[in-house]
């Protein structure tokens, strides 16, 4: 067998593969003889079928299968040995006069080659890296939420400013009949607040659904209807009051601290506020880092210029999916995926140039950290190292999980690279400012 490469241009090449009879004949004959030993054909004893009949029935299929195996194995070996960085897979060229009855065969495969380029991490225009801080107002609000959450309900006779009202929403025409808790602090409509204040158990109040709540997501759950149905809903509903409660905030004492943070970990309101600040800013860091990762990715795609073997890739996309695509469909698919493909090439270049690797031990530690954070959500704040090792072992036994965790860990390594090498400017903001700047 002989393989040669014809370079068409910097991004395209053709591999020519010549297969001689001696490359496949011995293997094909052995398979046919094995077929003969086990063939059950009427009129012949097992193992006594003439080899000519076996060759006539199975010879072409065995030949095609073995030649294709030779092609696959040797093409992969050639690409590896020659260190050819290809995009997609080699595409066989159409050969109209191909003859399987010949002794020798010649095949041609189109190659799409990865471009050569440099990645300018130090872009001219600096990229904003947000440092999100938990300000005093945010910490005050969080402390109040905690105190209310762990406080006790005190029954009241009439509705007041910050009460929680248990009752039933009804609208016969819209088939609404749902028990819910209504918190005055979450109501946006001033008319609704005025209508509810001073009302007693047994009273019924008519409320308009449009603009009722400060947050739109509250309406469907309160009325017991699907989210799609609640969108732009503008009707009147009756709300019959069944119970009125005021939530008396919990005291900031050691019992509450232990319940929230574990025994003895927090011993004062000052400690609690510092813990809330640290935990909040750790969460904000994740959002800030994701924003930075997205922004650097976009900037690198914008500033890293290179050509792609576009026509080859479109042709490859026509044949690579579950079902063949038309030329128009492949063109649309290329337009949808081009940006992602460009970043894959950029990312691969950065990983290679900066020696970013993932060792099994660090992947295991990364998995344990992920498991530890999940367990903490269910109140298991100090799991045993042995338990973490066992769970991590099971997780890393799943190849899909290994792939997912490896991608996350590599993203962290790239993020660290960007923090060290990219042109960044730090901007300190509180969370509300961050949301306003990033999402408008």
CA angle in degrees (0–180, nearest 5) for 36-41-44: 85
What pLDDT, on the 0 to 100 scale, is given for residue 254? 95
What pLDDT, on the 0 to 100 scale, is given for residue 37? 83
Q: 3-class DSSP state for residue 255?
A: helix
Task: Indicate whether this model's pTM tops 0.85.
Answer: no
Cβ(404)–Cβ(257) below 8 Å:
no
CA angle in degrees (0–180, nearest 5) for 281-283-286: 110
What pLDDT, on the 0 to 100 scale, is given for residue 176? 95
In tens, the pLDDT along 188-226 reads 999 999 999 999 999 999 999 999 999 989 999 999 999
In tens, the pLDDT along 225-238 reads 999 999 889 999 99
Work out whether strand 204-208 and strand 236-248 pair parallel, antiparallel, or are unpaired. antiparallel
What pLDDT, on the 0 to 100 scale, is given for residue 280? 94
Q: Could you count the other beta carbons within 10 Å of the beta carbon of residue 345? A: 19
Distance, in Å, from the CA atom of 47 to the CA atom of 350, rounded to the nearest integer, reads 60
CA torsion, points 421, 427, 428, 430, in degrees to nearest 10?
-120
Cβ(11)–Cβ(112) below 8 Å:
yes
What pLDDT, on the 0 to 100 scale, is given for residue 74? 94
Distance, in Å, from the CA atom of 290 to the CA atom of 418, rounded to the nearest integer, reads 12
CA angle in degrees (0–180, nearest 5) for 417-421-425: 110
Cβ(242)–Cβ(167) below 8 Å:
yes
Enclosing H/E stretch for 80:
helix 51-81
What pLDDT, on the 0 to 100 scale, is given for residue 430? 94
Q: What order of strands is seen across the sheet that includes strand 105-113?
A: 2-9, 12-19, 105-113, 86-92
Cβ(422)–Cβ(122) below 8 Å:
yes
Distance, in Å, from the CA atom of 144 to the CA atom of 249, rounded to the nearest integer, reads 8
Work out whether strand 204-208 and strand 127-133 pair parallel, antiparallel, or are unpaired. unpaired
Work out whether strand 127-133 and strand 424-430 pair parallel, antiparallel, or are unpaired. parallel
Q: Which domains does the chain have, with CATH numbers?
A: 2-113 (3.30.70.1050), 152-248 (3.10.50), 267-439 (1.10.3120)
Q: Which two tokens stand for residue 266?
A: 């927090």
Q: Identify which of 281, 289, 302, 298 has the alpha carbon closest to the alpha carbon of residue 417.
A: 289
Enclosing H/E stretch for 243:
strand 236-248
**pLDDT per residue of the chain (440 residues) written in tens, 0 to 9:** 899 999 999 999 999 999 999 999 999 999 998 888 877 777 787 777 888 888 888 899 999 999 999 999 999 999 999 999 999 999 999 888 889 989 999 999 999 999 999 998 988 899 999 999 999 999 999 999 999 889 999 999 999 988 999 999 999 999 999 999 999 989 999 999 999 999 999 999 999 999 999 998 999 999 999 999 998 899 999 999 999 999 899 999 999 999 888 889 899 999 999 999 999 999 999 999 999 999 999 999 999 999 999 999 999 999 887 888 999 999 999 999 999 999 999 999 999 999 999 999 999 999 999 898 888 777 776 788 898 999 999 999 999 999 999 999 999 999 999 999 999 999 999 999 999 999 87
What pLDDT, on the 0 to 100 scale, is given for residue 14? 96
């Amino acid at each position: 067998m002989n393989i040669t490469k014809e370079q068409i241009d910097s991004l395209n090449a053709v591999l020519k593969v010549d297969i001689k009879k001696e490359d496949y004949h011995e293997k094909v004959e052995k398979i046919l003889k094995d077929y003969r030993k086990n063939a059950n054909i009427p009129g012949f004893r097992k193992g006594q079928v003439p080899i000519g009949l076996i060759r006539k029935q199975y010879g072409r299929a065995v030949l095609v299968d073995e030649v294709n195996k030779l092609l696959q194995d040797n093409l992969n070996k050639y690409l590896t040995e020659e260190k050819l960085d290809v995009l997609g897979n080699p595409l066989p060229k159409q050969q109209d006069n191909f003859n399987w009855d010949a002794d020798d065969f010649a095949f041609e495969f189109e190659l799409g080659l990865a471009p050569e380029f440099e990645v300018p991490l130090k872009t001219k225009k600096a990229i904003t890296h947000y440092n999100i801080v938990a300000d005093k107002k945010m910490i005050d609000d969080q402390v109040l939420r905690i105190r209310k959450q762990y406080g006790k309900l005190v029954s009241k006779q009439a509705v007041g400013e910050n009460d929680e009202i248990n009752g039933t929403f009804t609208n016969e025409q819209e088939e609404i009949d749902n028990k819910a808790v209504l918190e005055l602090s979450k109501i946006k409509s001033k008319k609704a607040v005025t209508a509810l204040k001073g009302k007693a158990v047994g009273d019924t109040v008519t409320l308009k659904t449009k603009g009722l709540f400060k947050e739109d997501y509250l309406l469907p759950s309160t009325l017991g209807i699907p989210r799609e149905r609640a969108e732009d809903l503008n009707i009147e509903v009756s709300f019959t009051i069944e119970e009125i409660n005021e939530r008396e905030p919990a005291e900031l004492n050691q019992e509450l601290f232990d319940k929230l943070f574990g025994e003895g970990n927090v011993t004062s309101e000052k400690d609690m506020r510092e813990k809330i600040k640290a935990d909040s800013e750790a969460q904000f860091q994740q959002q800030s880092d994701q924003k930075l990762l997205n922004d650097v990715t976009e900037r690198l795609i914008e500033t890293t210029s290179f050509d792609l073997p576009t026509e080859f890739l479109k042709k490859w996309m026509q044949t690579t999916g579950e079902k063949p695509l038309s030329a128009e469909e492949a063109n649309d698919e290329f337009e949808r995926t081009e940006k992602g493909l460009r970043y894959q090439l950029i990312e691969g270049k950065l990983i290679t140039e900066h020696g970013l690797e993932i060792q099994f031990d660090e992947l295991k530690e990364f998995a344990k950290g992920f498991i530890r954070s999940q367990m903490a959500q269910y109140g298991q704040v100090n799991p045993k190292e042995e338990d973490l090792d066992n769970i991590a072992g099971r997780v890393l036994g799943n190849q899909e999980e290994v792939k997912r965790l490896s991608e996350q860990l590599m993203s962290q390594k790239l993020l660290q690279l960007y923090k060290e090498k990219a042109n960044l400017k730090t901007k300190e903001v509180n969370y509300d400012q961050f949301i306003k700047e990033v999402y408008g």
